Structure 1
Amino acid sequence: MDLVRAWGRYGDRALVTALAVMYAVELLRWDDVRLALAIPFGVAACFLLLLRRQLPVVTVLLVLIAVQLVDRAAPGFADEAISFPLVMLVAIYSLGRWATGLQAWLGLGVVIACIAAFVVDDAGDASDVAFAVAFVGTPWGVGVAMRFRRERENHLQAEAELLRSDQEDSARRAVAAERARIARELHDVVSHAISVTVLQARGGRRLVGVDDAAVRRSLDAIEHTNTAALGDMRRLLAVLRETEEATEGALTPQPSLSRLEDLVEQVRSSGLRVDLEVSGEPGTVPPGVDLSAYRIVQEALTNVLKHAGSKARARVQVTYRPHDVDVAISDDGRSPVNGGEVARPGDGHGLINIRERVAVVGGTVRAGPGPDGGFVVRAHLPYSVDPGSTG
């Protein structure tokens, strides 16, 4: 790698210097030569090659002029010397390698003119034509092939870099989305557990010294609720850490509608009366829809606990159909109206989370006052998303 970098930095200078030394040595050994003219022109022809990358057409033309002047100062030198064809080969190769755009077309004209000049100078027989084409056309063609190859490599490298950048952006977006999902999960778990715990603690405090059995039931409910919440939090934090334990089956089961009865029992143990109605055959519910439906019910019941009071009554309805599932959570508490829009005091992220979860699976949600008071949340969750649907 160091040699490659060194050649890229000093290679042209070393090549040009070596050619200039060779050119000068051969001229010094030439018999019929005017050194005062030949050596400066010969060395100039070599050092002009330093411009071959920036000005390939100009470089070739100037080199041709310089070597012609050398040939006049040292007659016959071009036919016998080794340095002359080497300089020409480098110059013509550089014409194909570095000339692009308009310069490339001008370079093709220069190549054709050089071949024609060779043929005219040597009487134009078939062998001279073949030699001219080989001597001029071959290095130029190799240069063009190298240019095309490098351009293709650069193009592929740019595409690979763009693809890598897109992949990194996609990965960053995926991480952000996953963290947002986990944040919603943690909010749901913690909010539900705290709500149940607070209500149980309040009820248990009133019954201390009055009904020890009821106090024990409250403490049992607090323990059960927080144990389940702790298990969910450990599962979610394991996802964040991406530890090996998270993939070895040590995690608690993923919340789903099949565990809805357990959730309802937790809420009932807080003093809130909850009716659960399930209709239709569950069939195979997609995992994302299953989890979202569970969390919607959990979030809605948590809101009932917070805002409707323990004297309220809630009703959870789950309706399975072949291609979708509907969930409805209603209560008979009161829902004040703020600024013309139905709102529950201190909603926080509750309804926002519900709407986000419904949007993720391409469903629809309605939340507002019930016909007989209270508050109703209805969510329709399709198993597959219609591309034309706006959600």
Structure 2
Amino acid sequence: MDALETIARAPRRPTRVDVLITAPLLTWAVIEAFTASGPGLLWQRVLFAVCVTLPLVLRRRAPVAVMAVLIGVLMVRIWLIPGREDSTFPFPSLLVATFSAALHARSRAVAVAAGIAPVLAMLSLFPLGYHESPTSIGQMFILGFFVAGAWAGGWLVRLRAAQAAAARADSARLADEAAAARWESVRLAQEAVVAERARIARELHDVVAHSLSIVAVQAGAAEELIGLDPDSARAHIAAARRTAREALTEMRHVLDVQREGGPAAAVALAPQPTLERVADLVDEVSAAGLPVRLVIDGERGTVSAGVDLAGYRIVQEALTNVRRHAGAVETSVRIGYGDRWIELEIRNAAGPDGDRAGARTAGSGRGLVGMRERVRLYGGTVTAGPDGDGFAVHARLPREPQ
């Protein structure tokens, strides 16, 4: 069922507008029947006036039936009481009925048939000799012109209503699709967070295992030297205590990830890289065709193993995004070691087509989600967005997890 038929099949009842249209026409027709002379008796003229106006109250509920009644009454009047001077001729009523039939008919075919019906009714008057009088021919031509105009007006309003209904339906459909897309985006983001937490947990597993092995080595060395060189033994014990503290901190983060629902699988991985290996990463991507300049400010000093790994992964992900989205463009990596914070800044120029790394919408966006999740895990901050003609990622990580 198309939009036109959907509008036509909507339930209708006589409204205040229908009454306001019908009442003046009925009053006028009855007054004309009483005051003007014409063919037929008074009661016939009054009855005729009522029959051609009162049905207009139902013009929405049964538009075609109303038009059929009006035409039928008119034909009966003309054929039974012929006369060309008819003061109660239902000219306004016929126009209203024609307009209503074109607008409210149940289907387009019925609406078109309702527009043809008045023409056939006028042609049926020819046997009475109406075509022999120039005045009658002119009146019929004028009547046909106005009837056609009324039908065209109703049809245009019908089309406009159908367009409005289709627009509302499209708007509702687009709203539903947008809502579904938002939910899908939320679902994908949640999946990305869960996957990234699982990966972080696996990486921290190796970090913690490595730290514990160092503690064991330092404790063993201290045990061997405690009688021979107490100062060296104390140094080993201090290193073991520091490493153990870091290991406990990393284990706490692993437990936090699992408590929040991230599935941490115990998968054996190779030792993970640190910020010290960023230079190797820069050499690797430069060899792949991405010109990268590395700048290191400050003294590295002691960096938590988990923070070290997170910083390396952030630089790695940012360089991957540059290569994937902007191509071989000039890129700079800056690592600033402060007293309490480590600053990471990866900045690239615009691509050959003006594209910025990360600015396209075709990607899944999981890289940035992973960066934010890593930084949030250690109490840092990260921002990523357009910078001049290019794109920049800026991360701030604490030396010790918070």
TM-score of the aligned structures, taking structure 1 as reference length:
0.49
